[in-house]
Amino acid sequence: MIEIHFSGWFQCRLATDPDPADETRGISGMIKVYPGEPDLDRIIRFHPPVLQRSHCPEIGVFVQQVVKNGEKITNHHLIGAKVNLAGDPIFKGDNGIVAEDGKEPIVPFILEITKNRLHISRTCPHESLYTDFPFKGLQAKEFNADPQFIREATGVLEPTEYFADRARLLSEDLTSTLNPLDYEIIKRRVSFLNSKNAYAFFDAYMSYQVELSSVAEIKDPTGELDQAIDPKISWTVYLKFCAWDPDALTGYVTGKLDVL
């Protein structure tokens, strides 16, 4: 068995309660779109971001480690490969209509791994549990808090200082910002970063376990995988979304794909 471990910062620009799920600018919730920024679209992006606000983490989710039959392969070709959720997936909670907060299913669910000429793509089963309301097979298995895990994963040892540091950098930017609109946007970001809302959900996580049993699409002309893989045997992917950053509209994801 091959275990493919991956992690990195993702982006998800979505409205928050009490705004409706399809609100595109942010009115009543804590997420706001500033002038000149594109509309909110709810899409979970591992690569690349649609917008990168200043002094925010760089988006990108990559393979960090490969374990083959219980042994770490330090020089495996897959290390550094891009991991992506394809098909413009969203956290489909729809204000509690589909699922309660923290349990939102990821719809659609298509996992991709690419590096050089290697391409792996596979989806969840084409069964009602995964394709029909309320998408039970794609809902989060757990919504909880784990500060120690999240600090180790992200390298952010103290969330309040993490956001305060960004607020200080933005405050320094104010001294050289001449455009009145840009000045007001930075002021509002600083004000938000100095509030409790900035770090309220940083230590929370949503965990997922999804079976991938469609026929896998595997293109490996140069033998990056080092072994033949049966595209018909089911795989399992585990994901943990955490470290929500409502200023950057980002979070951190760790995951593992078990390939038999």
Express each pLDDT in 127-182 by its tens digit: 999 999 999 999 999 999 999 999 999 999 999 999 999 999 999 999 999 999 99
Is residue 175 assigned to a domain? no
Domain range holding 218? 2-153+201-259
Is residue 162 assigned to a domain? no
Q: Which residues contact 195 (CB under 8 A, 6 or more apart)?
A: none
Q: Are 153 and 254 in contact (CB under 8 A)?
A: yes
Is residue 85 assigned to a domain? yes
Is residue 195 assigned to a domain? no
> Looking at residues 94-102, what average pLDDT do you find?
95
Q: How confident is the model at residue 230 (pLDDT cuts 50, 70, 90)?
A: confident
Instruction: State how far the Cα of 62 lies from the Cα of 76, in Å rounded to an integer.
Output: 13
pLDDT given at position 247: 98
Task: Calculate the average pLDDT of the chain.
Answer: 96
pTM exceeds 0.75 for this model: yes
Is residue 22 assigned to a domain? yes
Is residue 164 assigned to a domain? no
Q: Are 30 and 77 in contact (CB under 8 A)?
A: no
Is residue 166 assigned to a domain? no
Instruction: State how far the Cα of 43 lies from the Cα of 41, in Å rounded to an integer.
Output: 6
Q: How confident is the model at residue 225 (pLDDT cuts 50, 70, 90)?
A: confident
Is residue 193 assigned to a domain? no
Per-residue pLDDT of 234-260, as tens digits, reads 999 999 999 999 999 999 999 999 998
Range scoring the smallest mean pLDDT among 36-45, 49-58, 210-219, 223-232: 223-232
Helices assigned H by DSSP within 100-253: 128-131, 147-154, 159-174, 180-193
**What is the C-alpha radius of gyration for the chain, rounded to an integer number of angstroms?**
19
Counting the structural domains of the chain, the total is 1
End-to-end CA distance of the chain: 5
Residue 229 pLDDT greater than 90, yes or no: no
Per-residue pLDDT of 167-223, as tens digits, reads 999 999 999 999 999 999 999 999 999 999 999 999 999 999 999 999 999 999 988
How many other CB atoms are found less than 10 A from the CB of residue 126?
9
> Looking at residues 59-67, what average pLDDT do you find?
98
